[in-house]
Structure 1
């Protein structure tokens, strides 16, 4: 991305936080082996402050959508507390293979690391950390191969690594394009169809919670349309200050 392209992905800005639309395929932070990351572009998001903003939480490399940044240390401390206490509302859109028979439900499935050599890969484990997610069917359809697909709105009630991906896969309806927990090939396959659609942050005690929505990424639009999505009627914009 260019600096201007980073600015174009700014969805919300106030004195405490920013929300950006993270592109799929870009890590949020620099890994041990280096390489390009979203953090490389934070300098353009200072808006007059002496330091770059910093991540208040994380998204998987292949997940797109709403990502919250704290603008200074006080903001990061507050945001960290809100995320830890489960006070930040998060809604993801996903396209899954097959799909649930019911129209909505809840998954309670503890998770643990698969093994120390697999990095962030996770597995169901009754002795793992509690992990809960809710899901709601937004639409159903058929892919080009004639196999059924379902558009889900997912809400992680806890914040475990790969939580939604593992939960969906273990329920029998893996997320389309998932090379770890689903049927997608490791490389060169369909991109992961998981998008952080909206986030609600009670950043101020004296004002309503801030809700920000990220537009649907290009790679998810075809299958969403097959499931009944009618396109964007309104997308999130900078809601307080001018860029």
Structure 2
């Protein structure tokens, strides 16, 4: 982990979630709703009343039975699925838990990544002195694996596609930092020019595939807005 001074942890006073569009529905049927979550919106509400607005609340206002099958970080945008009944929730939850769901993200990172592809296999744990940040921890960390490929080199910035094989908190953000290439605009793990290079975290969940509760494979894709 870099020893550079990181940005302060944002507080509830910094929370100004986007409101336009209020909700972007990619797909809906009797079992699932697939959303395009914007950067800056919490997946679920925080404990502070100021953090009540979230994707889950917005979806429940339209589909009261909706429940989260997985989450995206507040600053990450992209494809997220919610379930509309207990059977669907149990099924989709198993797709993630058993790692049958296939996910890919797009990110823009600081620096020129030399190799064309690679794998990061570093265990992660909560950095208790700097929550909610995570850190590499070989003693207490949980196994965390990310595959990556370079999509474009943009002169000091590299566009990469990330394939998380596990689903740890801040996994992609910490793994890229450990490679020496923090994600642009990351309020937790980037500093200086890397933080200032973008007005938001340049991380987007672009594609998600899984076995639908009705038994067929589905794949959803929302192109990165950067």
Contact residue 91 and residue 213 of structure 2 kept, 8 A: no
**Partners of 1:109 and 1:20 in 2: how far apart?**
30
Question: Deviations along 1:211-234, whole A, 9 cap, x unmatched?
Answer: 1011322xx2xxxxxxxxxxxxxx
* SS in structure 1 at match of 2:175: helix
Output the TM-score relative to the length of structure 1: 0.78
Instruction: Give the root-mean-square deviation of aligned CA atoms.
Output: 2.2
**Partners of 1:62 and 1:216 in 2: how far apart?**
13
Q: Which runs of 5+ in 1 are unaligned?
A: 143-147, 221-243
**Partners of 1:12 and 1:194 in 2: how far apart?**
22
What is the match of residue 177 of structure 1? 185
Q: Superposed, which structure 2 residues align to 1:1-243 within 5 Å?
A: 5-7=21-23, 9-34=24-49, 35=51, 36-46=53-63, 51-115=64-128, 117-127=129-139, 128-142=141-155, 148-183=156-191, 190-204=199-213, 206-207=215-216, 209-217=217-225, 220=226
**Partners of 1:212 and 1:45 in 2: how far apart?**
21
* SS in structure 2 at match of 1:167: helix
* SS in structure 2 at match of 1:21: strand
- How many residue pairs were aligned? 205
1:119 CA displacement: 2.9
1:44 CA displacement: 4.5
1:184 CA displacement: 5.4
**Partners of 1:72 and 1:104 in 2: how far apart?**
39
Contact residue 207 and residue 219 of structure 2 kept, 8 A: yes
What is the match of residue 227 of structure 1? none
What is the match of residue 231 of structure 1? none
**Partners of 1:179 and 1:52 in 2: how far apart?**
33
